A and B are shown apart, each in its own frame.
Chain A
């Protein structure tokens, strides 16, 4: 039921009844499939996409390129594990190309993020270099466009 995953990925607030109808399955089949996906860790969590810019919460996000010396027998996994355990780390990816790990971090201020890099990330033994880029504006995230949609003003009433 891969179609089910696509539906949930788009909108996890759909009820089981709605999804069952949309896919032409029974509600029991949908519930079983969801339980199975959850048990196997295919579905990890259900979340909302929030545009914090529209709230009065102050927040900065940075993308940090990290160069690492891989460790014998462990590759990059060990150091990655030591990095992603920090709550500040929102995403962590192993990359091909000019650097090795890409870390997405959120903090309340630029200083807070800079300090995280200086005090937590850079000192890790295998880390050989970092470059921090602050995000200035979020246009699209997780497939969702953050700019408001302006509908066409005048349309036909019936065709």
Chain B
């Protein structure tokens, strides 16, 4: 066999490997740990939704769908956006059904970005934006949001980061991993900065249904913002449907048309069974959303209270299903903290550094877990903290 040496693409090679590889490797060896590390609902998809997917299979609906997605589903997405957020998107031309919100982010970036463009990405945030921007040939520029600002993006930060090369802003709210949200006034301040620029926005609103207290506001709801914004949504988190891979993007015709072009050649169409299930979820799932949100809210309050009792400072998260406590008082890096907790107490939480350099000093705990697991995890975390404090005193 002759030796073959791959010439691998510069863009993909430029993507750094996960910053917390060591922690991952360890996690893989401990499947029995209580995991608060996976950011997905612990609920199974509601039965009426699963049943609709099964029924579509019984009927033999196993063919490709139109590239943009079933028109009935686009109609339901449009109705849902209007009902929940008072936003108007035409099912014909302003909506594309994607393989999770993830694909919608990829499509939007590839449709917009050119080599040399800069993409502003607030961090700590979900891990996909930087690599996707890099693959599109653009340069990610990270904006560090701060605990004292409740991890919101401020107008000053945004203004200071804008250069002539800035093409795109990612708005990742409600935020994974911080649980931070942007209220209307915060968005208005951002909109004021954007208005004088030609910067487009990808608003990742995958957690829009999961806010506690204030209802979610989209940047696209503000005057003059809809025409520059692609709203990314999906059913993964709101309807407990991660494995179905159902997402969508809503936005102006011009950009959606280009996104559909990429989707058409790279994906063809989103999974057919999932699209039928999604029709049911959007049409009859509002009560499921409310019931799950109620449960997450109870767990959220429980976890925030428990962390407070342990003396771990924790900003009160107002969205998604994560808490992001500040662990700097332990003197450990977030990766050492997580590794220590996993080894000593068999609880998995994720180092904040996985979500960007500004996540260092924090850890992400996902509270989409049963009360039994959360109670036990909090007990163990408390024991771990007592142990590390003991160690610090001993030294």
Q: Using a CB–CB distance below 8 Å, which chain A residues touch chain B? A: 7, 11, 14, 18, 21-24, 152, 155-159
Given A158-B37, A158-B39, A159-B39, are A18 and B371 neighbors across the interface (CB < 8 Å)?
Answer: yes
CB <8 Å contact, A158 and B371: no
Contact with A along B243-269 (1 / 0, CB 8 A): 100000000000000000000000000
Q: Is the interface of B mostly helix, strand, loop or mixed?
A: helix
Q: Which residues of A contact B306 (CB under 8 A)?
A: 21
Which of B115-123, B163-171, B220-228, B295-303 contacts its partner? B295-303
Chain A residues whose C-beta falls within 8 Å of the C-beta of B77 in the assembled complex: none
> Which among A11, A14, A24, A158 has the greatest number of chain B C-beta atoms within 10 A?
A158
The docked-state distance in angstroms from the alpha carbon of A157 to that of B27 is 8
Question: B386 an interface residue at 8 Å Cβ cutoff?
Answer: no
> Please, which residue of chain B has its CB at the minimum distance from the CB of A158?
B37
Q: A14-B371, A157-B24, A157-B27 are in contact. Are A22 and B302 (CB under 8 A)?
A: yes
For A18, what are the chain B residues with a Cβ–Cβ distance below 8 Å? Answer: 302, 371, 375
Given A11-B371, A14-B371: A158 in contact with B38 (beta carbons within 8 A)? yes
Of B39, B243, B299, B301, which one neighbours A24 at CB under 8 angstroms?
Answer: B301
Does B58 interact with chain A (Cβ within 8 Å)? no
Which residues of the other chain, A, contact B350 by a CB distance below 8 angstroms?
158
Check B148 for interface membership: any CB of A closer than 8 A: no
Report yes or no: A21 in contact with B38, Cβ–Cβ below 8 A. Answer: no
Most buried by B among A7, A14, A152, A157: A157
Proximity string of chain B (23-39) to chain A, C-beta cutoff 8 Å, 1 when within and 0 when not = 01001100000000111
Decide: B38 and A155 in contact? CB cutoff 8 A. yes
Q: Does B153 sit within 8 A of A, measured CB to CB?
A: no
CA A152 to CA B375, docked complex, whole Å: 23
A11 to B302, CA, bound (A): 15
Question: Nearest CB to that of B18 among chain A residues?
Answer: A158
Other A-B pairs, 10, CB within 8 Å; known A14-B371, A158-B27, A158-B38: A21-B305, A22-B298, A22-B299, A23-B298, A156-B38, A157-B37, A157-B38, A158-B24, A159-B38, A159-B40
Least Cβ–Cβ distance between A11 and chain B, in angstroms: 7
On chain A, the residues within 8 Å of B301 by CB distance are 21-24
Question: Which B residues between 290 and 334 are near A, CB-CB below 8 angstroms?
Answer: 298-299, 301-302, 305-306
Those 8 A-B pairs whose CB atoms lie nearest each other, nearest first:
A21-B305, A22-B298, A159-B39, A21-B302, A22-B302, A24-B301, A158-B37, A22-B301
Residues in chain A near residue B39, CB distance under 8 A: 158-159
Q: Are the C-beta atoms of B38 and A7 separated by less than 8 Å?
A: no
